[in-house]
Structure 1
Amino acid sequence: MDDTNSLDPAMADEIAALPGVKCTYGTMSRTAQPARINGAETTIDLYSYGDAMLDDAKRSVASGDLSKVYGDSGYALAIFSDATRLNVGDSVTVNGQTLEIACVLSEGIGSISGAPVIVCSGETFTRLTGETHYMLLNVLAEKDISDAAVQKLYALAGDAAVSDNRELQSEVNGSYWVFRLAAYGFLAIISLITVLNIVNSISMGVSARTRQYGAMRAVGMEGRQITRMIAAEAVTYAACGTVTGLVLGLALHHLIYAKIVITHFGGVWRVPTESIALIVLLVAVSCVAAVHGPARRIRNMPITATINEL
Structure 2
Amino acid sequence: MLLNNKEFEIAGLLKYDPFSENGLVNGKITLITTSDTFVSLTDIEDYSIIMAQVADDITDEEISLISGLVGTNCTFEDKRDQQTTGIYTAFIFCVYGFLAIIILVTVLNIINSISMSVSAKIKQYGAMRAVGMNEHQITKMIVAEAFTYAIIGAIVGCTIGLLISRWLYTTLISSHFSYATWTVPFIPLLGIIIFILCTVALASYAPSKRIRNISVTETINKM
- In the superposition, the TM-score normalised over structure 1's length comes to 0.52
Deviation (angstroms), 1:190: 1.0
Amino acid at match of 1:115: T
The whole-number CA distance in structure 1 between the counterparts of 2:88 and 2:193 is 29
The whole-number CA distance in structure 1 between the counterparts of 2:209 and 2:218 is 14
Deviation readout 1:232-270 (Å, 9 max, x if unpaired): 111111122122222333333333334444444335443
* Cross-structure match for 1:7: none
Deviation (angstroms), 1:193: 0.7
**Aligned mate of 1:214, from 126, 129, 149:** 126
The whole-number CA distance in structure 2 between the counterparts of 1:222 and 1:288 is 20
Deviation (angstroms), 1:173: 0.6
The whole-number CA distance in structure 1 between the counterparts of 2:213 and 2:87 is 52
Amino acid at match of 1:223: E
Amino acid at match of 2:219: T
Q: Does the alignment pair 1:306 with 2:219?
A: yes
Deviation (angstroms), 1:147: 4.1
* Cross-structure match for 2:41: none
Q: Does the alignment pair 1:168 with 2:82?
A: yes
* Cross-structure match for 2:162: 250
* Cα distance change, pair 135–257 in 1 and its aligned pair in 2 (3 A): closer
Amino acid at match of 2:137: Q
Deviation (angstroms), 1:135: 4.7
> Greater helix percent: which structure?
2
**Aligned mate of 2:190, from 261, 267, 277:** 277
* Cα distance change, pair 137–186 in 1 and its aligned pair in 2 (3 A): closer
Matches within 5 A, 1:62-73: none
**Aligned mate of 1:292, from 195, 201, 205:** 205
Deviation (angstroms), 1:287: 0.9
> Greater strand percent: which structure?
1
Task: Give unpaired runs (5+ residues) of structure 1.
Answer: 1-81, 84-106, 118-130
Q: CA RMSD in A?
A: 3.1
The whole-number CA distance in structure 1 between the counterparts of 2:172 and 2:80 is 33
The whole-number CA distance in structure 1 between the counterparts of 2:134 and 2:53 is 70
Amino acid at match of 2:52: N
Task: Give unpaired runs (5+ residues) of structure 2.
Answer: 1-10, 13-17, 20-29, 37-45
Amino acid at match of 1:194: T
Deviation readout 1:165-219 (Å, 9 max, x if unpaired): 22221xx111111111101111111121111111110100101111221222233
The whole-number CA distance in structure 2 between the counterparts of 1:231 and 1:308 is 26
* Cα distance change, pair 116–231 in 1 and its aligned pair in 2 (3 A): farther
* Cα distance change, pair 272–211 in 1 and its aligned pair in 2 (3 A): same
The whole-number CA distance in structure 1 between the counterparts of 2:126 and 2:32 is 81
The whole-number CA distance in structure 1 between the counterparts of 2:71 and 2:35 is 32
Secondary structure of 2:52's match?
A: strand
* Cross-structure match for 2:33: 114
Deviation (angstroms), 1:302: 2.7
Does 1 or 2 have the higher relative contact order (CA < 8 Å, sep 6+)? 2
The whole-number CA distance in structure 1 between the counterparts of 2:198 and 2:184 is 23
Deviation readout 1:109-157 (Å, 9 max, x if unpaired): xx9760289xxxxxxxxxxxxx9xx8525141233x4444444444444
* Cα distance change, pair 279–301 in 1 and its aligned pair in 2 (3 A): same
Amino acid at match of 1:114: T
Q: Does the alignment pair 1:240 with 2:152?
A: yes
Query: Contact 1:211/1:308 (CA < 8 Å) preserved in 2?
Result: no
Deviation (angstroms), 1:163: 2.1
